[in-house]
Structure 1
Amino acid sequence: MTRWKRQGFFSRKKALQYQKNSLLLSSRRKAEQIAEEHGFSSSSERAVERTEQEQSDSDIPEPDSGDINVSLNDIPNSRYDVSWREGRQVVELGVLADGLAGCAKCCIPLHLTHTVDILHCGLGAFLRVMCQNTTCKHKNIVPTGKRHGRIWDANTKLAAGSSKSMEQDMVISMVKKKLEKGINISTVICDEDTTTMSRLRQNVSHSITKMSDKNHIKKNFTSTLYSLKTKHKSLTTRVIRYFLKCFNYLLAQNKENPSGIEQGLDALGKHPFGNHSSCDKTWCAHVDDPTKKYSSLPYGKPLQDEKLQEEVMSICSRLKQNSSNLSRLGSTQGNESFNKSVSLKAPKNHHFSGSGSLNYRLAASVAEKNSGQKYLVEVNKKIGLSPGKHTKKLCYLRESQSRKRRAIARTREAKRRRIELKAKKCQGTATREIREGPTYESGIDLCTEKPDYIQIPPPSFKPELETVPICDQTLVFFDLETTGLARTSHITQLAAVHGNETFSTYVMPDIPITPSASDITGLEVRNGILYHHGKKVNTLSISVALDSFFSFLEKFSNVILVGHNIKTFDCPVLLEALESCRMIPKLTETVKGFLDTRILFKTVHPNLHSYSQQSLAKTLLNMSYNAHDALDDVLMLQSLVNKVEFSEIDHNCSTFSCQYACDIFNYQKLIHKNLPSLQCLIDQNVISLGMAKKIAGSGLDFSCLNLACKRNQDGIYALFTEKSLNCKFVRVTNSKRILDSVNEFFMSLNES
């Protein structure tokens, strides 16, 4: 390795240049030292001559001892510019250190205090640093951070941290600029989260007053109540909303009335707890009728938590100290509206802040805010361009649409709709929190108690009936014989027919055949052999029998299975067997839907005494047959349907899709699973059997209801009134009587 590389230089030229500059600097220092030690030496004998700029600097008079705050910018003809010291910049120390390591021409180290100019680029900047070598005087460009192309990393990748530290500087800068333009600013609307006003009065003017933002005041009040929620179980989300409603009312009714604000805050700490000494008759009906129920509080009764009342009174007493500010509140919604307009023209996912179009996009937002959508036409006219027929038409259309939206937004119906949507959103969030339990909470994993990780199932709703048109479909008649009348019975015989093609097979059940079923069907099992009316029959396993059944159905296209009373019996039994063999997907692929002839005959012949298949054959065909043999049943059913006239509408009303059959099957299974745990509620007359089935079908059992009540006092209300995705139905019920009854049962259970 060559000598200059070992010394750390990139090239021999740089090494020689460094040696030359080092000699010049050493000779200059030596000459200056001689000049200081021998004041009698003439300026012509000095080794280094000063430049004209240095001579002008040497003529600067020294300030008096009292002028200790003199800035270099205040000195005339100064070569220093310290404006780069003002404001805040994002600086990457590594990049800045590399930039100051040496001059680009002479390699002499640079110093930050020798900066003469700055070029701001968003959160990044270029510093112009002058080299102090008298023979160089090169102005080096030093960046304060990394860049990718022309884009600064600080402008695109700075996602961490808070912008609150820059908010104060921005407000001060904006106010100063407005004052320079002759615009007088007397009041600033801002929140309570920063020290902006104190800095504004210190740096700009003490006469500027502050007006609080009403939305931030309401949010701070709500946040304070939510912070008390963990200490007081009675302070539920429902109660907090009631407090907020009262607080909003007292602010709206007492504008420019500080004494009214104080009186309202006194009432706010007493009214929800049954004390109406500070209430006014104009808004409190309890003054005339103390027994009147509270429409927005649990059970319509006042709150009884004395400690909570002390906390609320403490909050109200602190707010009373600022009653004058609360009586004159402003709003920053105009700013938020303008921010939305800017975000539409300069979205954050496109880095327009690093391009030259940002100023134009911002100017377009300002013009739209001031002049409306027609600003584009005026801009085109200003620069001498024809706006164009279609541009004018579109601008006027957008302007009329905007006016219409603003007019609608001010109506009572629109405001009510916004409140309803907000309440729906809040209810959805509260319900999800109750169902999921505490999933994110400070220090939850360090808690010594066992965490509540049980999740309440999401809502399940009874499926809606979905019919199937039978036009151009193949009707295949089928019937089952089973071990009993239960929906979980096993199949003992399966038969189907279409035209002259028939299918029939016997199945060996895994459970015993009930005596009543054996008397009806003539089937019985003795020593592992199935007999039909005393005759031995060949049997198949259920999986093989179902495979054979599907092989028969695959001969036809667009199959609809037709049976008598199949909606309530045959379909659940068939689906139970298919589920045990994991063949339900094969059913949905092969079969389009089902047709229940019992429903069909009830529609066409509504006044018959009986709708059993035997009775229909006797009444309509004057025929009798060997009933409860699956093959004979389907042959007779085919004859009934073919010989009796039905319209297509009658047919369609009796059908249901294969997907509906699967959904209702799963719904019934859910009821069968959860209903036994709710039996204690039925026995104590808390709910009826029908309501218990509805609760079980929604996916809730006793443990879920008890857990919801433990997590939140309004947990039962939130779960029962949770809405479906299409918002047509609630999960269980909206009945206040049932809600109160179930909630009181679990509240007393947990207290004991």
Structure 2
Amino acid sequence: MEADMVAQMVKDLVVVEKINVSEIAGDDDSTGFEKIKKQMPHLEIEKTSDRNHIKKNVNSKLYELKNSKMHKEFTQKVLDSIQKNFSYMIDQNQGSEDGIKNGLKAITEHMFGNHTFCNVSWCGGLTKGDAYKHLNLPYGKDLTSKQLKADLEKIFQNKLLTKANQLSKLSSSQANESFNNTVASKAPKRLHYSGSASLGYRVCSAVLQKNEGYEYMSKVNEAAGLSPGNETLKRAAISLDNDVEEEIPEPLNIRIEGDMKSSPLVVFDLETTGLSRTSDIVQIAAYSEEKKFDTYVMPNKPISPEAAAITGITVVGNQMLYNKERVMHKSQFQALNDFIIYLSTFSKKPILVGHNIKRFDCHVLYNSLKSHMLWNEFCSYVHCFVDSLDLFKHVKPGLKSYSQTNLVHELLGETYEAHNAVDDTAILNKLISTKCDFDLYVQTLSFSCLYPYFCFFISM
């Protein structure tokens, strides 16, 4: 946002609306903040950094280091572990500058076997000694590369340690970003509604959606005297045929704009608490040639015995277990938000590919994102979806089964650990990259991010 706009907004709040503004959250660009101090020198206001921008900047530095290919030991699993450690450290030490300083040192030292800066509440190395195995490092062993350690220290100690006070007082602009995406969905910039008289109504509809949810439309109609009226569902039902449809018809195809062949390919998979589209997510994994994503997610609903038997994921108290081994996990909101941050790091909007996603995963993802008001933001970072089940029906017609395990067995001659999202995405990426011409089918088989949204309303 332009510095003049930031200053004017704060000025309107303070001078016109008589609202006390004591804090402004944003990225590391302080131009707007300096403009405010210059125009209102007597205003006691503090600038805080945005949590997501900080994490995104650190993630970018880590990927730069990994892509440099200078360190053989710096695998994707190590990178994921560092990301998790940094995220937890930031969240757990808000309000404590000393805690941030100690945590920044512990991130690198802990992974290299030095537990001087660790805390007994989270580090098993302090209690188990030499018998300790890392949960998130290859083979559970300490890292050993001195050069890798030095490069990581440049990121976490040389650059971030001086900002410990700033990191201990982070804010979140997530609500603003979510609202901005809602406004963009009502008034896309490419259609230039800013020159139209309807802009005010479109922005107001975004405000209503934010405050009231999608039910605002029925409330507006009722307030305007349009509901109930002559054109009602009850009257319309009189003219409907009595024939029962065997299945819900497919929604209309929505045109997808842009060059899909230049978009990066990201294979993703979800593990859930059950087989219903309203199930909770318990694991999210994504795989691309550039970068990977994996996290376990603490569900709000119980995991069904059938799902636990298939995935090996269970919950005991406030701990998650995979094959009876404790794993690090995140809340539903944090996991979904981190997934969006991961997608935002691609230079172009990626195409999300998954197996049977058109019938299941997309709908579970939609329900989860919608419940946390993150759906619009998610869509802003995704080009489209492609279901690999439909893809291989075109590529290899006539197979008895198109389950992913059967495709792997028939086409690759391999077996793998099915129903673990990480393994599912890796093997599906191998299938797509070696056994089909993806570019040949992407235009035909792609479907919009709005697909599960329309399915939801058709099923009502």
The TM-score with structure 2 as length reference comes to: 0.51
Asked whether 1:298 is paired with 2:168, we answer: no
The alignment yields a C-alpha RMSD, in angstroms, of 4.5
Could you tell me which residue of structure 2 aligns to residue 706 of structure 1? none
Give, in whole Å, the separation in 2 of the partners of 1:430 and 1:372.
34
Give, in whole Å, the separation in 1 of the partners of 2:11 and 2:26.
17
> Which of the numbers 156, 176, 187 marks the counterpart of 2:23?
187
> Which of the numbers 133, 148, 151 marks the counterpart of 1:311?
151
Q: 1:196 to 1:658 in 2, by over 3 A?
A: closer
Give the counterpart letter for 2:177 in structure 1.
E
Q: 1:417 to 1:233 in 2, by over 3 A?
A: farther
Per-residue deviation, 1:245: 0.5
SS, match of residue 47 in structure 2: strand
Could you tell me which residue of structure 2 aligns to residue 93 of structure 1? none
Q: 1:720 to 1:375 in 2, by over 3 A?
A: closer
SS, match of residue 38 in structure 2: helix
Give, in whole Å, the separation in 2 of the partners of 1:658 and 1:357.
50
Per-residue deviation, 1:336: 1.8
Q: 1:358 to 1:419 in 2, by over 3 A?
A: farther
Give, in whole Å, the separation in 1 of the partners of 2:424 and 2:201.
53
Deviation sequence 1:687-723 (CA, Å, 0-9, x none): xxxxxx9996369xxxxxxxxxxxxxxxxxx899723
> Which of the numbers 275, 287, 302 marks the counterpart of 2:126?
287
Asked whether 1:723 is paired with 2:427, we answer: yes
> Which of the numbers 280, 286, 290 marks the counterpart of 1:425?
286
Mapping for residues 60-459 of structure 1, pairs under 5 Å: 167-181=2-16, 182-193=18-29, 195-205=31-41, 207-229=44-66, 230=68, 231-290=70-129, 291-317=131-157, 318-373=159-214, 375=216, 385-389=224-228, 420-421=283-284, 424-426=285-287, 430=291
Q: 1:204 to 1:320 in 2, by over 3 A?
A: same
Mapping for residues 493-504 of structure 1, pairs under 5 Å: none
Give, in whole Å, the separation in 1 of the partners of 2:204 and 2:4.
22
Deviation sequence 1:98-138 (CA, Å, 0-9, x none): xxxxxxxxxxxxxxxxxxxxxxxxxxxxxxxxxxxxxxxxx
SS, match of residue 171 in structure 2: coil
Give, in whole Å, the separation in 1 of the partners of 2:171 and 2:273.
22
Q: Which runs of 5+ in 2 are unaligned?
A: 234-271, 293-346, 348-395, 416-421, 436-460
Give, in whole Å, the separation in 1 of the partners of 2:120 and 2:98.
17
Q: 1:658 to 1:196 in 2, by over 3 A?
A: closer
SS, match of residue 122 in structure 2: coil
The answer to whether the 8 A contact 1:188-1:211 is kept is yes
Per-residue deviation, 1:659: 3.0
- The structure, 1 or 2, with the larger RCO (C-alpha pairs under 8 Å, 6+ apart) is 2
The answer to whether the 8 A contact 2:25-2:172 is kept is yes
> Which of the numbers 398, 413, 424 marks the counterpart of 1:697?
413
Give, in whole Å, the separation in 2 of the partners of 1:356 and 1:254.
48
Deviation sequence 1:318-347 (CA, Å, 0-9, x none): 322222222221111111221232123223
Deviation sequence 1:621-650 (CA, Å, 0-9, x none): xxxxxxxxxxxxxxxxxxxxxxxxxxxxxx
SS, match of residue 240 in structure 1: helix
Give the counterpart letter for 1:225 in structure 2.
L
Give the counterpart letter for 2:51 in structure 1.
K
Deviation sequence 1:716-749 (CA, Å, 0-9, x none): xx89972338x9xxx9xxxxxxxxxxxxxxxxxx
Give the counterpart letter for 1:175 in structure 2.
V
Give the counterpart letter for 1:296 in structure 2.
N
Q: Which runs of 5+ in 1 are unaligned?
A: 1-165, 395-410, 432-441, 443-656, 671-692, 700-717, 732-752
Q: 1:658 to 1:258 in 2, by over 3 A?
A: closer
Per-residue deviation, 1:430: 4.0
Per-residue deviation, 1:200: 2.4
The answer to whether the 8 A contact 1:338-1:365 is kept is yes
SS, match of residue 420 in structure 1: strand
In terms of Rg, which structure is larger? 1
Q: 1:381 to 1:299 in 2, by over 3 A?
A: closer
Give, in whole Å, the separation in 2 of the partners of 1:273 and 1:304.
6
Q: 1:419 to 1:200 in 2, by over 3 A?
A: farther
Give, in whole Å, the separation in 1 of the partners of 2:164 and 2:141.
30
The answer to whether the 8 A contact 1:211-1:328 is kept is yes
Give, in whole Å, the separation in 1 of the partners of 2:399 and 2:196.
57
SS, match of residue 58 in structure 2: helix
SS, match of residue 428 in structure 2: coil
Per-residue deviation, 1:250: 1.0
Give the counterpart letter for 1:265 in structure 2.
L
The answer to whether the 8 A contact 2:273-2:282 is kept is no
Give the counterpart letter for 2:283 in structure 1.
E
SS, match of residue 25 in structure 2: strand
The answer to whether the 8 A contact 1:377-1:387 is kept is no
Q: 1:658 to 1:722 in 2, by over 3 A?
A: closer
The answer to whether the 8 A contact 1:294-1:302 is kept is yes
The answer to whether the 8 A contact 1:191-1:212 is kept is yes
Give, in whole Å, the separation in 1 of the partners of 2:138 and 2:218.
58
Give the counterpart letter for 2:413 in structure 1.
G
Q: 1:720 to 1:366 in 2, by over 3 A?
A: closer
Give, in whole Å, the separation in 2 of the partners of 1:221 and 1:285.
26
Q: 1:306 to 1:720 in 2, by over 3 A?
A: farther
Give, in whole Å, the separation in 2 of the partners of 1:694 and 1:372.
47
The answer to whether the 8 A contact 1:251-1:327 is kept is yes
Per-residue deviation, 1:189: 0.9
Give, in whole Å, the separation in 1 of the partners of 2:397 and 2:179.
53
